[in-house]
Structure 1
């Protein structure tokens, strides 16, 4: 009998220490959310390299009593890398090594399209303030409109860390839904004649221009907006690796091994912030809704400015490339190409759209730096 009682006491102790005893309905809901995100990543292939780790991190975050973020270990180290702004600049290093700024240098005027697409950031900022968010929270929410996940995380950590999970999920989800969200907006705002505009071939860009651009851009932007010096500095350093012609090993590491490793840590750590207590609040739905508004507004802003440039240039610029200014590289540029090809078979817009697309990367970072300088 004593042996049986001891066995029962042991079972009770195991149960009391298990996650099952502390499991709540909110944990179950968030695990289901994580499973839905996994479905989107694996089955639907919506940004699988990002949504996959985020989804699994969400599931892990909702196991009670794991002590992931309270006790020293891998998960705490990953959280440290996010909270102290280590991972986003490293991601930008890889992005820089993978980015060809040639189309932007060949037609610098497309920088204006990247800037125009940032209107979505400020539309969402104003909308968030009208819905009761404070100015720092509104700024962090607004950056979703730039469709740049690392920048959204970077700004959220500094201005509204408690909203990081919702903002990151909204940003990456809408990035993955670019082919679904953008085409209706693009077709609504343009005429058949505008969509059929054929653009002249881009001029060749010299190696001197390619090497000088990251150096000059890093100097000017870092002096103008010091809060984003780490982001833009790493972006331009990675691009210098690519364009110099003498740092191929560094370029290969930045755009492959390093970028893949940091993506795993950044995405998983972001998912780890999606615990039921912080995520299952009315604010989350508002953030997701505002993110959609921001994304649509950014797409519309780029297209509308593209229409203006089309007229000013004498019908030499296809306004569809303005939608690529939202910064989702290179997916947004591919959408411009697809919509253009459907309107006029053989009308290749991809390289032309890459100009505003890479300009959008810079534009979103500049918008983030502006908000950090003004609102933090």
Structure 2
């Protein structure tokens, strides 16, 4: 009888709070449709790892002895030891991306770079608030709204807050349609949001589309060596898409691989959502700083577009700058919806996609640059 009741009597208040967090994530995934492929596994995993005698993490169970938990094993082998799960997901993401709109209008590269401003602003703010440099850098990368990059950077830097960082990164990815319109409207006028940008795409050859991922990988390897795994896997996935001779592998990467890794990554990252590591005031602070990073990334891209317009005859709709974050393709869709709301005949989607895929590259490069800088500083 004592064994049957041991689970109930072992529950702590922080663990009960984590059940509520898990249920909230599941609710947001099912009822609201916010990143369900990630939030649902994370929510369910948060419940699993906080059940006192579940055996999904390494524990000593009464009458059984030491157990080796499946979720802890997945975390240690797939994230902690090799970073394999986030990197494999980048192959699928790369296979989904068409860089044609970016190559057709290369100026959009600038918006991907400008929209990383919030990352570096938040790193500075986090350091001033008492976070260590590795933890501050890991928190700042949330602003990219790129879950795999956030997980990878925080893991390589051995951050103490991988769980809250992952939850914040994926939550803000899901909340792009809610947060970005508010940030965009706060720093633009109606007249600016009405600026029209006719889309006149330049034909992009297949050869250029094949050369591009190879060239980006080589350049990243020279400029930010620590980004090679991030950029390389992303570009490898894109090369599968563009080469024209591996259609089956490209389709598998976009669907089977991406879905399977997303499923495993969501439930695996829940290992870092154990109550003793998650239920702290630092978690709330990280969620707040993540929001600051995300908003400032959006504002940075918009303000950069407004700055460029000071020197251009053909004005750029500054909302395009907001699409420079790496939440692909959600951010591009947000810009399109805002443009149509202001003027039903103003279609900015392809311009926004160009900035959005640029942001995908910029975010992983930013992660690599941060890793390079910190590796040098902390030696």
Short-chain TM bin: over 0.9
One of 90, 97, 100 as aligned partner of 1:99: 97
Pair member with larger Rg: 1
Structure-2 change in CA distance of 1:197 and 1:139 (3 Å): same
Structure 2 CA distance for aligned equivalents of residues 193 and 205 of structure 1: 32
Alignment pair present for 1:347 and 2:343: no
Unaligned runs of 5+ in 1: 1-10
Residue 12 of structure 1: aligned partner: 2
Counterpart in the other structure of 1:37:
25
Residue 169 (structure 1) aligned with residue 167 (structure 2): yes
Deviation (angstroms), 1:153: 0.2
Q: Is this contact kept in 1: 2:144–2:297, CA < 8 A?
A: yes
Preserved contact between residue 118 and residue 296 of structure 2 (Cα < 8 Å): yes
Q: CA offsets per residue over residues 294-326 of structure 1, 9 Å max, x none?
A: 011000000001112233231332111100111
Q: Deviations over 1:62-85 (max 9, x none)?
A: 101233232445323321202120
Which residue does the alignment assign to 1:362?
361
Preserved contact between residue 141 and residue 150 of structure 2 (Cα < 8 Å): yes
Give the conservation status (yes or no) of the 8 Å contact 1:54–1:268: yes
From the two aligned structures, give the one with the greater helix fraction.
1
Residue 74 of structure 2 is aligned to residue 78 of structure 1: yes
**Offset, 1:196:** 1.4
2:134 match: 136
Alignment correspondent of 1:240: 239
Aligned to 1:178: 176
Residue 5 of structure 1 aligns with which residue?
A: none
Question: Residue by residue, what CA displacement relative to the aligned partner does 1:250-295 show, whole Å, maximum 9, x if unpaired?
Answer: 1011111011111011111112211110001111011000001001
Match of 1:118 among 116, 119, 123: 116
Preserved CA contact (<8 Å) 2:230 2:368: no
Does 2:40 correspond to 1:22? no
Contact kept? 2:55, 2:69, Cα under 8 Å: no
| Distance of 1:19 and 1:223 partners within structure 2 | 54
Q: Is the 8 A contact 1:140 1:160 kept in 2?
A: no
2:190, 2:171 → 1: CA distance?
30
Cα contact 1:186–1:303 (8 A) shared by 2: yes
**Cα offset, 1:123, TM superposition:** 1.2
Classify the secondary structure of the residue corresponding to 1:199. coil
Structure 1 residues 269 and 180: CA distance shift in structure 2, 3 A: same
Contact 1:93–1:237, Cα closer than 8 Å, also in 2:
yes
Query: What do residues 231-264 of structure 1 show as CA deviations (whole Å, max 9, x unaligned)?
Result: 1111001000101111101101111101111101
CA distance in 2: counterparts of 1:140 and 1:29, whole angstroms: 24
State TM-score, norm by structure 2. Answer: 0.93
Give the distance between the partners of 1:106 and 1:371, measured in 2 at CA: 29
Is the deviation greater in 145-154 or in 19-28?
19-28
Per-residue CA shift, 1:180-219, capped at 9, x if unaligned?
A: 1111221121122221111132222111111110111111
Map of 1:287-306 to 2, 5 A cutoff?
287-306=286-305
**Equivalent residue, structure 2, for 1:57:** 45
Stretch moving more, 309-318 or 140-149: 309-318
Q: Which runs of 4+ in 1 moved over 3 A?
A: 71-74
Aligned partners of 1:175 and 1:328 also within 8 Å = yes
In the TM superposition, residue 346 of structure 1 has moved relative to its aligned partner by 1.2
The number of aligned residues is 364
Partner residue in 2 for 1:4:
none
The change in CA–CA distance for 1:238 and 1:336 in structure 2 (over 3 A counts) is same
3-state SS in 2 of match to 1:295? helix
- Structure 2 gap ranges (5+): 59-66
The answer as to whether partners of 1:85 and 1:154 remain within 8 angstroms in 2 is yes
Q: SS in structure 2 opposite 1:162?
A: coil
